[in-house]
Structure 1
């Protein structure tokens, strides 16, 4: 019998903040046979991952897409994502990652009128209800951002929220951007509360309520997020 060597599948992940990792999505990817390869913004992101046909996930962080003068490596990420958009390479952007996809598409990212931090449901568009985001119908998701964005040209709007009309969009079948956090891991939420304590206090966010809502909604979000991710993967 001839031995067959299977090529290992892997996910490239760009991380901007130590505790904002793939969260509950990590287990889903691993259950599908993927190896996770993390790269850290400003430290060790090889240009080759932008040309790699493997899935690329770009995660969140507290810096702004428009702060390229302070964080010059953001421009490298934007340029790399332009290539992936042009070539329809499978890419998932979450929070800052979604905003970087907006910038790479040529649309504007800018400071919003309110800090949207907390749990609430989304308003799905008609296209959103026909997309993997349909599993988030009536599910409270975690929002954690102060910036917002214009909808990129040729993008399909998938979801809005109470405060912002643009929360998720797709660029074809291979590129999905979500400004909220479907990957939030309820078991590790305390890391977010500690890591973002200055922002939470400055924005006068009720931390006790935020923690209680995580305990109330976190499990349902993880379950819906798993179905969302599995359907997106199946469509690639």
Structure 2
């Protein structure tokens, strides 16, 4: 067991000034984790020594992973080599998954027909991903670009519109295209702040999204709790078991 499994600190990196951990924060707090929140777009520095963190999470944002002119995109791309060189777990959500994929040499690009996924859409498990994903489930998306699969990554989940929905590398670096952190409060905040984007091709209007949330969020949230236990807190749980034995 490495030393990182003994820390209860989680680094949360947001790409907006008002981003919140939502459901992810609720789930991780139940395991006793404490959060170090950084917002590089607002001038926060990202720690290059990650030995004090069990997990680093990079959330989504309204920008593209190709927006090199933006402070937060440049800062995260310059920081990711430190993540890859460390032993710390990494979870990239939407933009966070795309930025890691780009750092590892993959391309980030719009759908060839201009389609988006904004709302609730199905994803399917790949054969490799069936231990973590059901054969199909409805998840919440908000993106207009997708990522190619980085070299050395295994594809865990797919969908008809954007085929690369979740990947992992060596069970330490994880990327998911959708948003398990979105709870009722954050969903309503997103709709209030960016509801004008819901008229894009293939996007769902706010009322359709709310109906999707009422129908699918409970199962989506239950899935994330299981995913977190298996992937995000597994070393911490094993460490506590060793300490109590």
Determine if the TM-score, normalized by the shorter chain, exceeds 0.5. Answer: yes
Q: What residue number does 1:209 align with? A: 208
In the aligned structure 2, how far is the partner of 1:170 from the partner of 1:127? 10
5+ residue gaps, structure 1, are: 1-6
TM-score by length of 2: 0.85
Contact 2:38 2:46 in 1 (8 A): no
In the aligned structure 2, how far is the partner of 1:77 from the partner of 1:177? 15
Please give the secondary structure, in 2, of the residue aligned with 1:52. coil
Q: What residue number does 1:225 align with? A: 224
Q: Which 10-residue stretch deviates more, 200-209 or 91-100?
A: 200-209
Q: What residue number does 1:115 align with? A: 116
State which of 188, 191, 209 in structure 1 corresponds to 2:189.
Answer: 191
In the aligned structure 2, how far is the partner of 1:28 from the partner of 1:182? 11
In the aligned structure 2, how far is the partner of 1:126 from the partner of 1:88? 27
Seen in structure 2, the aligned counterparts of structure 1 residues 20 and 73 have a Cα distance that, compared at 3 Å, is closer
Please give the secondary structure, in 2, of the residue aligned with 1:126. coil
Please give the secondary structure, in 2, of the residue aligned with 1:78. helix
**Alpha-carbon shift at residue 189 of structure 1 (Å):** 1.7
5+ residue gaps, structure 2, are: 1-5, 236-245
Please give the secondary structure, in 2, of the residue aligned with 1:148. strand
Seen in structure 2, the aligned counterparts of structure 1 residues 43 and 66 have a Cα distance that, compared at 3 Å, is same
Please give the secondary structure, in 1, of the residue aligned with 2:226. helix
The answer to whether the aligner puts 1:51 opposite 2:49 as a matched pair is yes
Q: What residue number does 1:60 align with? A: 60
**Alpha-carbon shift at residue 89 of structure 1 (Å):** 2.4
Please give the secondary structure, in 1, of the residue aligned with 2:137. coil
Please give the secondary structure, in 2, of the residue aligned with 1:91. strand
1:6-85 equivalent positions in 2, closer than 5 A: 9-18=8-17, 20-48=19-47, 50-53=48-51, 54=53, 55-69=55-69, 71-85=70-84
Q: What residue number does 1:94 align with? A: 93
Q: Deviations over 1:143-165 (max 9, x none)?
A: 11101111100011111112011
In the aligned structure 2, how far is the partner of 1:33 from the partner of 1:141? 26
**Alpha-carbon shift at residue 233 of structure 1 (Å):** 2.6
Paired residues in the alignment total 225
Q: Which 10-residue stretch deviates more, 81-90 or 24-33?
A: 81-90
Seen in structure 2, the aligned counterparts of structure 1 residues 217 and 18 have a Cα distance that, compared at 3 Å, is farther
